[in-house]
Chain A
Amino acid sequence: MTRFILSRIAFGVLVLFLLSVFVFMLFYVSPSDPARIIAGDKATEELMAQIRANLGLDRPITEQYVTFIGNLLQGDLGYSYRSSMPVSELVVSRIPVTMSLVFGGMVFWLAIGIPIGIVSAKHPGSVRDRLGQGFAIVGISFPTFVLGMLALYLLYFVPTKLGFMLFPPSGYVPFEQSPLQWAWHLLLPWLTLALVVAAVYARLTRGQMLEVLGQDYIRTARAKGVDERRVTYVHAFRSAMPPLVTQLGIDIGLMLGGVIVIEQVFGLLGVGSLAVTSVAMQDRPVVIAIVLLGGVFVVVSNLVVDTTYALLDSRVRTATR
C-alpha cells in the first residue's frame, strides 16, 4: 500500500513538472509583451528594455525556467506584474474562497444528486424516476451563468425590490469572522453550483445502482432476510460508490483550480476570478501559479481517489498490499 502511494506521488510530481514546462513554453511563444502591459502604451523603448532586464525576460528561456523552478522550490513564485504583490500571497489569499465554494457546493450536490439517483434506480421507469432524471437533464443543459443569474434575480433582486433581503447579492465573509455570514453569503453560489453538478451525480448514481441492484449478491442479501433499506444502502450503495468517488475526485480537483463562472456571477474573489483577470492582464507569474495550483489539486485529488478506492474495495486493497 505504501509503495503504491509513493509511486502515485512520484507520478504526480512528474505530471506537475511537465505541466510547469508546458505553461512556461506557452507564455514564451505568446506574442504579447509583459513590459508593455506593465509600463503602459506610452512607455519608451528604453524603459521597456529596463523592465525586461529587471524581470529577466531578456535571458534565454532555459535560464528563465531554471531560475523560476529554483525560486519555486524555495516557495518564491515571484511578483505579480500587475499589483507587485508576491504571487504566493495573492494566490493563497484566494484559496479559502474557492475551497469554501467547492466543498460547500459538494455537500449540496451530493445531497441532491445521490438520493435522486438512488430513488430513480429503485423504481426505474416510475414517475419519480422520470421526474428525477428530468431534473438532471435540466441541470445539465442550463448554462451555469443563466442559473446563477436566475438565482440572483429570484432570490436577491425580487425580494430586495419587495423590501427585504433574503440573500446578500455578493461578496465573501471569511469563516473565521462569522460562520453564519459565511454560509449566508455562500448559499446562493452553493445552490447554483449544486444544481449544475448534481445532475451528473444523479445520473451516475442511477446507472451504478441499477447495475449493482441486479447483482447476485443483492439477491443473496434479500434471501438472507436483510431489510430493503439495508439492502439499498449497506449492500448496493456500497458497491456503487467507487465510480462516484472517481467522479468526485476529478470534479473537486478541477474546481479547486477555480470555479470561474460562478465566482464571476456572484462576485466571489476566488482563484477563478483571479485567473480571469490575470489572463486578461497577461500577468504571467500569477497565471503560471494558478495553473500549477490547479495541477497540484488535480494530482492530490487523484491520489486521494486512488487511496479511497483501495479502502473501498477489498480486492484492490489486498492486491496492492
Chain B
Amino acid sequence: MTILLDVRDLAVDIPTEDGTVHAVQHVSFAVNEGEFFGVVGESGSGKSVMVQSIMGLVPGARTSGSVLFRDRDLLSLAPEQLRSVRGREISMIFQDPLSSLHPQYTVGWQIVEQIQAHEKVSTKAAKARAIDLLDRVRIPDAAARFDAYPHQFSGGMRQRVMIAMGLSLGPALIIADEPTTALDSTVQAQILDLLGEMRSEFGTTVLMISHDLGVLSRVADRVMVMYGGRRMELGAADAVLCGPAHPYTAGLLRSSSFNREPGTPLVPIGGRPPSLLAPPEGCAFRDRCPDAMSICGTKPPVRHYDDGTEVACWLESTPVEPDPPVLPPPSLLASPDDPIVKVDGLRLTFPQRRGEPRVVLDDISLEVRRGETLGLVGESGCGKTTLARAIAGLVAPTAGTVEFDGAPTGNLDRAQWRDLRRRVQLVFQDPFGSLNPRRRVGSIIGDPFRIHRLASGAERQAKVQELMELVGLNPEHYNRFPSQFSGGQRQRIGIARALALNPELVILDEPVSALDVSIQAQVLNLLDELQRRLGLTYLFISHDLAVVRHVCDRIAVMEGGRIVELGTADEVWNDPQQPFTRRLLAAAAPEIPREPRDRRLLPLSVAGAGQQPVSGHPADRHAADRIAVEVAS
C-alpha cells in the first residue's frame, strides 16, 4: 500500500482576539492510496481546522510540521503551487451545501469554473464535462439543471453537485468535511453510498471528517479519533469502533444513543472539552476520563498494538465500563386511558398566493398519554414542528380539534390561553439562537415567573436558582450571559425555563440535534431523570431515529403532513409496517457490535521509535501528579 497523504507532527495555531487557539497539536497520520479514511471528533476537536489548514484554507493560521502529498510538502508550497493542487489533485466537499455554493452563479457555471481554473479547455467542452459529471452523480435531467441556481435544488441534490464539482478533475484525494451532517437521514445514506461508488469509479481516496460514529462505522476503512486538538486513537475502523483502546473513544460509543439498547441509560462523558487557548499539559482527556491516573498529567506516549492500532494513552488495559447513572423510578406510569392531549382530524393549510392552499398537516389524529414520551420523527418539512405548535395551541388548525387535558384548545379566552401557556412548554433546538444574548441567565429563566406574575424579587431568584440546581447548572452563575455557557449548558437553561411553572407537557423540538454526542447523552439523561421525578409528559421531535428510539415510549412517523405509522418504540423499530418507516430505519446508523479484541500491546521501545514517552522536567511531572490527585479527589 502506498501512502498518499502523510501528515507529520502537524500543529495549527490560530491567533484570535482572546489569544492563540492551539487548534491542532502535533497530529500525525497517513492516508493510504484508495482507502476511506475517517476522522472523528466532537466540535472543537480540531478536525476541520486540521484538514482545512492542509489545504491552506484557514486565514491567519500558523502551521508547523509537514504534510507530504505526492512527494511535496503542502505546507511549504508557494501559493500558486498550492492553488494548482487544490481542486485538481485534492478537492473538498463541505458540510452545508447551500452556503458552500455561490448563490449568484448557476451550478453549471461553478463546475465549469473549477475545470477552467486548472485546464485550458473551451467553455463548450467544459460544459459537456460538467453535464456528464452531473449525470454521473445522478442529477436527473442534468443538461437542463446545468443552468439552475443552488437555491433551486434540494439539500441532497446540492451535495451531489458539490461531489460532481469535487470529482470534476479526477482528484487523487477527496476531503469531505461532514458531508452529510446537514442532510436528512435518508438523503445522508444516499450521499454516503454515492461517495462510496464514486470512490470505486474514480479510484479516489477519501478522507472524511465526521462527528458521527455511526456514519463512519459504515464507510471508513481506518479511523482516527481526535479530541482537544490531539490524536487519541488511530487504527482500522472495526478495531477502533468495536474494541476501543482509548477511554475517550469508548466514552463516545457509550454516549451514542444509536449504540445503546433502548431503556438503558446512556453513559455520558461528564464535564466539557478543554480550552484550546490553554491546552492542558498532559492528556487532554484527563479531566473527563474514568480511567485517569496520576501519570496522566504527563504527556501520554503513543502505544502500538499488534493489530496496527495506535493509542495516545497511559492505560494498558481495556478502558473501564463506568456504571450507567441510576435513575429514580418513574413517578407516573403512562396508561392508554389517560391521554393528556387528544388530536382529532387535525388539518392545517396555509393559503398560497397562487393556486391551491398548501396542506401542511393532513387529517392527523393522535393521543399523547400522560407521563409518556411520544416521539415525532420525520424528515425536514414533514410538518412535525407545525404539529407540535398546533398541539401547544400556537397555531389554529384549519379543521379538526386539539384537546388538552379534556378541554378543547380552540376559542380560549385570555385567562385560559395563559393557563395553557403555563401547562405546555417548549424547548427549542438551537441553544444559541433561542436565548437572548443580552439578558442574564437568571432573568431568562425567571421570565415565566415574571410573565405570569407568580414570584418576584428574592423569591424569584431563589426559585430560579433552585431550577438551575435541578438541571445541573451552577446556581452561582445566575448573573452570567448565555455566551458564557457551552451548548449543552445553554440547552439546560432552555430546559430550566421550560420547567419553571411545573408544566404538564413539554414539547422538545430537536433538543439535542445541535449538541455533540457526549453532551447529547448528558442532556438526554437529564430529560429522562426530570421526567421520572416530575411526572412530565414529553412530545419529542427529532429527525434522528436512533435518539427517538432511545428515549421514546411510542413513536409517530410523519411523512408529508401525515402520520404514516404510530406504535411503541419496539414495534416501529423491529417491525415497521410502512415503506417510509423502513427507509428511515435503513438509513439510521447501525449498532456497532462490541467485540473484545485479541491483541497485544507492543513494548514502547519497539513501537514508538521516534516518540518520547515521558517528557519534561521531573519537577513538572511532580506538579502534574499533584493536579491529577486534585482532579481525582
Contacts and interface: CB of A to CB of B under 8 A. Distances in A.
B99 interface: yes
Contacts of B195: none
B550 to A, nearest CB: 32
A224 B102 CA distance: 12
Which one of B79, B102, B105 has the greatest number of beta carbons of chain A within 10 Å?
Answer: B102
B151 A314 contact: yes
A217 B102 CA distance: 5
Given A219-B57, A312-B104, A314-B149, A225 B85 contact: yes
A318 to B, nearest CB: 7
Interface string B86-130: 111001101010011111111000000110011000000000000
Interface of chain A: mostly helix, strand, loop or mixed? helix
A7 to B, nearest CB: 14
A235 B114 contact: no
A40 to B, nearest CB: 62
Contact of B165 (A215, A224, A230, A318): A224
Nearest to B102: A217
Contact of A225 (B52, B94, B117): B117
B151 A225 contact: no
Contact of A226 (B52, B85, B96, B114): B114
Contacts of A312: 104
A217 B103 contact: yes
Contacts of B57: 219, 222-223
Contact of A220 (B79, B83, B100): B100
Given A219-B57, A315-B149, A315-B151, A224 B101 contact: no
A313 B104 CA distance: 6
Contacts of B577: none
A224 B319 CA distance: 43
Contacts of A313: 103-104
B102 A221 contact: yes
Contacts of A33: none
Contact of A238 (B104, B114, B117, B165): B104
Which one of B80, B104, B118, B151 has the greatest number of beta carbons of chain A within 10 Å?
Answer: B104
Contact of B83 (A215, A225, A235, A238): A225
Given A215-B99, A219-B100, A226 B113 contact: yes
A227 interface: yes
Given A216-B94, A217-B99, A315-B149, A223 B86 contact: yes
Interface string A217-244: 1011111111110100001001100000
B55 interface: yes
A314 to B, nearest CB: 4
Contacts of B113: 224, 226
Given A224-B113, A225-B117, A314 B104 contact: yes
Contact of A239 (B91, B94, B101, B102): B102
B380 interface: no
A318 B83 contact: no
Which one of A220, A313, A314, A315 has the greatest number of beta carbons of chain B within 10 Å?
Answer: A220
A223 B149 contact: no
Contacts of A224: 86-87, 91, 113-114, 117, 165
B474 interface: no
Given A217-B102, A314-B104, A223 B91 contact: yes
Nearest to A241: B104
B87 A225 contact: yes
- For chain A, give the interface size range: 20 to 34
B408 to A, nearest CB: 39
Nearest to A218: B102
A227 B117 CA distance: 8
B84 interface: yes
A318 B151 CA distance: 10
Contact of A235 (B52, B94, B102, B151): B102
A224 B113 CA distance: 9
Nearest to B151: A315
A223 B84 CA distance: 10
B152 interface: yes
Nearest to B152: A318
Nearest to B83: A225
B86 A314 contact: no
A225 B84 contact: yes
Interface string A200-223: 000000000000000111011111
B86 A222 contact: yes
Nearest to A235: B102
Nearest to A319: B151
Given A224-B165, A225-B83, A318-B152, A216 B118 contact: no
Contacts of B117: 224-227, 230
A319 B91 CA distance: 33
Interface string B48-61: 00001001110000
Contacts of B103: 217, 239, 313-315
Given A224-B165, A235-B102, A219 B94 contact: yes
A220 B102 contact: yes
Contacts of B83: 225-228
Contacts of B106: 314
Nearest to B99: A216
Contacts of A239: 102-104
Interface in A74-130: none
Contacts of A220: 92, 94, 100-102, 162
A223 to B, nearest CB: 4
B86 A225 contact: yes
B165 to A, nearest CB: 7
Contacts of A230: 117
Contacts of A215: 99
A223 B94 CA distance: 10
B144 to A, nearest CB: 15
Which one of B56, B99, B162 has the greatest number of beta carbons of chain A within 10 Å?
Answer: B99
A50 B85 CA distance: 88
A102 to B, nearest CB: 28
Contacts of B84: 225
21 contacts: A216-B94, A216-B100, A217-B102, A219-B94, A220-B92, A222-B56, A223-B55, A223-B94, A224-B117, A225-B83, A225-B86, A225-B87, A225-B88, A226-B83, A227-B80, A238-B102, A239-B102, A239-B103, A314-B104, A314-B105, A318-B152
State the 3 A-B residue pairs at the shortest beta-carbon distance, nearest first: A225-B87, A216-B99, A224-B87
Interface of A: 215-217, 219-228, 230, 235, 238-239, 312-315, 318
Given A219-B100, A227-B83, A314-B103, 20 more contacts: A216-B94, A216-B96, A216-B99, A216-B100, A217-B99, A217-B102, A219-B52, A220-B102, A221-B102, A223-B86, A223-B92, A224-B87, A224-B114, A225-B83, A225-B84, A225-B85, A225-B114, A227-B80, A314-B151, A315-B149
